[in-house]
Structure 1
């Protein structure tokens, strides 16, 4: 058992080296274009939705992913070995060694990246659903017919395991982006929620990441902002819970304003500012 004491200085250094963040916004809000605000040489985009057209002139590297098993492999290469993993399961020593031998060029490329941009978590869960439907857990042992409960249970377990594995990626900032959808209930009340297959992963995600941010359109209203998702002309990042717009957000750093400009480089600098500096 590798137990050790972590000093305050070491903890501060580790914290400054990594942040986990989930950014949600309506379709067309320009979430993928946030890549252009990150240093291209140090950033890797995991492209799950074939959505790089809007940033085709971005100078960084990307890896297209079209299936959930491939997503699991990339997560293993990024996050390394999970010492608690089943020896024959995902993220185990055997899994990592196999991938390292199969994709040595990927290992070398990923080693030079400190920011992982996952575009998008919405498509990640869609790929996970398609994969889960083919697994034995999705069929009844008694009748052989599809078992929806088994499918959603497997989906939740594997997606959450992938997210947590990336959460623990050493000295790396991981940014998930996804679609935010508007939901109107029977009483005509409007809420906003992440668009993800299965409810469990969406509910647990805020507890996994450090920051939850909503990207949307706003209009200036004096010295403040008015949320105008359809007619607004200014993009802003909503960063704090209890915001007046009723949008999903959480700031574990305690250093962000209610809204910030859509510049992830500046945002990460602000989050990781050294209080001793």
Structure 2
């Protein structure tokens, strides 16, 4: 039996050791450069985009991933074994033991990392969709022809399973970045949503991670009595800021489970994690 009671001190230590967050922003908005604010020795970047040219000066480790099957294997090495998984399933004890035996040097290197930067969840879901289309579930039982509904259903199950496995990775902070899509409906109303294959995975992601943020451009303004504020200015702004609270006036995706972040914060993930994980007083 693996159930046990956690003391308040144990729970606090665990919370300070791991955070999961999703950060979305427009294409070319500098999401990948957030990597440069993370400690190089403790961070590994899972590169799904071949898009690290903008951070060539960053000296941390990265893994180039081009197939969803490889993404599943890396997630298993990072997150460990899932005791609830059956032996033939992803993330099982057998799957984990097989991978550690097959890639001992990679496993040992990943064991030294406490921060995982996933760039990007948009391309992760695209790889998952390409994989799902090759599976038997993506073919109609009646006609043998491609079944889009079956492919999307498989995509959702597998991607959500991978995200939840990384969510439970012991002692790891996991950061997903992805493209933010601007949607204008027939009534000319504007909404923003994560650009991901499959609506179910995109809808469930905010419930899986601790923090959701939007990275975009802002302009600082001076108000009454010298008070300063930040105005969302995606076209002409010069300061990159992270929108952190769900009740923001711009309708941008955000959630702060820690309760410690301001409406917007500087685009510095190292400082942000320190603020999120600060020890409560008293």
TM-score range relative to shorter protein: over 0.9
Cα distance between partner residues in 1 of 2:191 and 2:233: 14
Consecutive unaligned residues in structure 2, runs of 5 or more: 223-227
Measured against aligned partners, the alpha-carbon deviations of 1:120-175 in whole angstroms (never above 9, x if no partner) come to: 00000000000000000000111101111100000000000000000000000000
Q: Deviations over 1:72-98 (max 9, x none)?
A: 000000000001112101000111111
Looking at structure 2, the residues matched to 12 and 44 of structure 1 have their Cα atoms a distance apart, in angstroms, of 25
State the match for 2:259 in structure 1.
254
For residue 33 of structure 1, what is the aligned residue in structure 2? 33
After superposition, residues 36-55 of structure 1 pair within 5 angstroms as: 36-55=36-55
Tell me the distance in 1 between the aligned counterparts of 2:185 and 2:233: 20
Deviates more, 1:117-126 or 1:82-91: 82-91
Q: Which runs of 5+ in 1 are unaligned?
A: none
Relative to the length of structure 1, the TM-score reads: 0.99
1:229 aligned residue: 234
Structure 1 Cα separation of the partners of residues 262 and 110 of structure 2: 32
Alpha-carbon distance between aligned partners in 2 of 1:229 and 1:128, rounded to the nearest angstrom? 31
CA deviation vs aligned residue, 1:48-78 (integer Å, no higher than 9, x gap): 0101100111010000000100000000000
Q: Distance in 2 between matches of 1:97 and 1:227?
A: 49
1:1-277 correspondence to structure 2 within 5 Å: 1-222=1-222, 223-276=228-281
Structure 1 runs of 4+ with >2 Å offset: none
Aligned residues: 277
* Post-superposition offset of 1:221: 2.4
Query: Given the two structures, how large is their TM-score scaled by the length of structure 2?
Result: 0.97
Structure-2 separation of matches of 1:112 and 1:230: 41
Distance, in Å, in 1 between the alignment partners of 2:174 and 2:123 is: 16
CA distance in 2, matches of 1:258, 1:2: 40
Give me the whole-angstrom Cα distance separating, in 1, the residues matched to 2:206 and 2:193. Answer: 12
CA RMSD, aligned part only?
0.8
C-alpha distance after superposition, 1:160-216 (max 9, x if no partner): 000000000000000000000111011111111100000000000000000000000
State the 1:276 CA deviation: 3.6
Deviation at 1:219, TM superposition (A): 1.2
Please report how far the alpha carbon of residue 246 of structure 1 lies from its aligned counterpart in structure 2 after TM superposition: 1.0
